[in-house]
């Protein structure tokens, strides 16, 4: 299992990822709360790809904007969603990303069946003619509010309705969303039973990415509030069994948890604390921290006069 977290789509984000113990990263490529894809910037893309290589971050997973709702009954929302998700896939291909994760959306009062029909039609529009080197992943959601992605059956229905895209279409499972939707992964037996269901209904071979989050509210609450691993309501022994199950060994785990901040430093990110959290999360998944890179010797003859370079952030 590769393991990382959500950070910024810049060389600095990739360097931070390496320094806190990631070997994979998730990024936004567009404003997550807007409809516009920013102008294509080839220089930024080139710098990002070089930095992903330099800092050993692979795969790169892209999270699409939150406004996207392919299950929406409103034609203008549906159309904007198709356009933005397609643009995100195209942009993700340029960035060398392996997949784009998106929230499958809400039928907003029109019923699940109609919402799923629109979702299938929307995914078909997005994928037809899209770059073939990037997967599109439907993320499971918490249910409530007309959200249609809370049941494995609903996600599987979309995959089954679109066989023409084969393995380019898949699912991202978020542990906090599973919990909030009522899938009790809080015990080893519960975690195994949920994975049994996911495997028989979706097929875990169709799940290349896990969002690894603890949840602040109770199982079945339908509330989507992420907590750091061990600080929420999901018992660690359940998460441990879930993440160490051999059937998810091929996945990439991504934390989408709040980064600790330094009150005494204008709430700047506390990367040392996040590195400790990453070490904890990785150990829950049965993973060691990746080795820190060796310090690169400088060619400069007077380098010994400089302060030592550290990569530990
Ligand atoms: Zn997620
Ligand atoms: Zn969430």
Rounded distance between C-alpha atoms, residue 245 and residue 102, angstroms: 25
Least reliable range by pLDDT among 52-61, 161-170, 287-296: 287-296
Give the chain's mean pLDDT.
94
CA of 296 to the centre of ligand 1 (A): 36
Ligand closest to 61 (CA) is 1
Share of the chain above pLDDT 90, in %: 92
Distance 265 CA to ligand 1 centre (A): 29
Residue 297 has pLDDT above 60, yes or no: no
Strand partners, 147: 106
193: exposed, middle or buried (Cβ count in 10 Å: 0-12, 13-18, 19+): middle
pLDDT band of 296, cuts 50, 70, 90: low
Query: pLDDT for 209-250, tens place per residue?
Result: 999 999 999 999 999 999 999 999 999 999 999 999 999 999
Give the C-alpha separation, 192 to 242, whole Å.
7
Range 302-311, long-range pairs (CB < 8 A, 24+ positions): 311/15, 311/18, 311/19
Ranges of H-type helices in the chain: 11-20, 42-54, 75-94, 112-127, 152-161, 175-181, 188-201, 236-244, 271-284
Give the distance (Å) from ligand 2 centre to CA of residue 103: 9
Model confidence at 293, in pLDDT bands (50, 70, 90)?
confident
CB atoms within 10 A of CB 113: 11
Q: Which CATH class is domain 2-305?
A: alpha beta
Cα(281)–Cα(204) distance, integer angstroms: 21
- Residue 247 CA to chain centroid, in angstroms? 19
Q: How far is the CA of 215 from the centre of ligand 1 (A)?
A: 11
**152-161 and 112-127 helices cross at what angle (nearest 10)?**
40
The per-residue pLDDT for 184 is 98
Distance 227 CA to ligand 2 centre (A): 10
Res. 38 pLDDT band, cuts 50 70 90: confident
178 C-alpha to center of ligand 1: Å?
Answer: 10
Average pLDDT over residues 177-203: 98
Ligand at minimal distance from the CA of 225 is: 2
Per-domain residue ranges for the chain?
2-305
Residue 310 C-alpha to ligand 2 middle, in angstroms?
34
> pLDDT at position 295, please?
63
What is the CA(101)–ligand 1 centre distance, in A?
A: 8
215 CA to centre of ligand 2 in angstroms: 9
Residue 249 CA to ligand 1 center (angstroms) comes to 19
Q: Which of the four pLDDT bands, split at 50, 70 and 90, describes residue 185?
A: very high
* Distance from the alpha carbon of residue 129 to the mean position of ligand 1, in angstroms: 26
**pLDDT band at residue 75, thresholds of 50, 70 and 90?**
very high
Query: Ligand 1: distance of its center to the CA of 257 in Å?
Result: 9
């Amino acid at each position: 299992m590769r393991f990382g977290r959500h950070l910024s789509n810049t060389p600095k984000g990739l360097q931070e990822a390496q320094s806190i113990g990631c070997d994979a990263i998730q990024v936004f490529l567009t404003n997550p709360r807007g409809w516009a894809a920013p102008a294509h910037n080839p220089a930024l893309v080139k710098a990002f790809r070089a930095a992903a290589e330099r800092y050993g971050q692979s795969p790169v997973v892209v999270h699409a904007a939150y406004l996207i709702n392919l299950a929406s009954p409103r034609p203008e929302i549906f159309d904007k969603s198709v356009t933005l998700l397609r643009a995100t896939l195209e942009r993700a291909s340029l960035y060398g990303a392996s997949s784009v994760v998106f929230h499958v959306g809400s039928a907003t009062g029109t019923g699940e069946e109609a919402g799923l029909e629109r979702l299938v039609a929307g995914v078909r529009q997005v994928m037809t003619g899209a770059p073939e080197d990037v997967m599109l992943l439907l993320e499971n959601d918490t249910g409530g509010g007309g959200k249609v992605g809370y049941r494995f059956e609903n996600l599987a229905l979309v995959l089954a309705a679109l066989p023409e895209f084969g393995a380019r279409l898949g699912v991202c499972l978020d542990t906090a969303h599973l919990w909030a939707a009522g899938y009790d992964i809080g015990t080893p037996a519960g975690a195994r039973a949920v994975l049994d269901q996911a495997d028989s209904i979706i097929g875990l071979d169709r799940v290349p990415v896990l969002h690894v989050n603890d949840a602040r509210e109770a199982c079945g609450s339908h509330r989507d509030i992420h907590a750091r691993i061990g600080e929420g309501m999901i018992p660690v022994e359940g998460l441990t069994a879930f993440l160490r199950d051999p059937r998810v060994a091929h996945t990439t785990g991504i934390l989408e948890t709040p980064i600790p901040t330094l009150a005494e430093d204008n709430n700047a990110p506390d990367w040392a604390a996040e590195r400790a959290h990453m070490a904890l999360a990785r150990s829950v998944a049965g993973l060691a921290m990746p080795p820190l890179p060796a310090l690169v010797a400088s060619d400069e003859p007077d380098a010994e006069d400089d302060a030592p370079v550290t990569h530990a952030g």
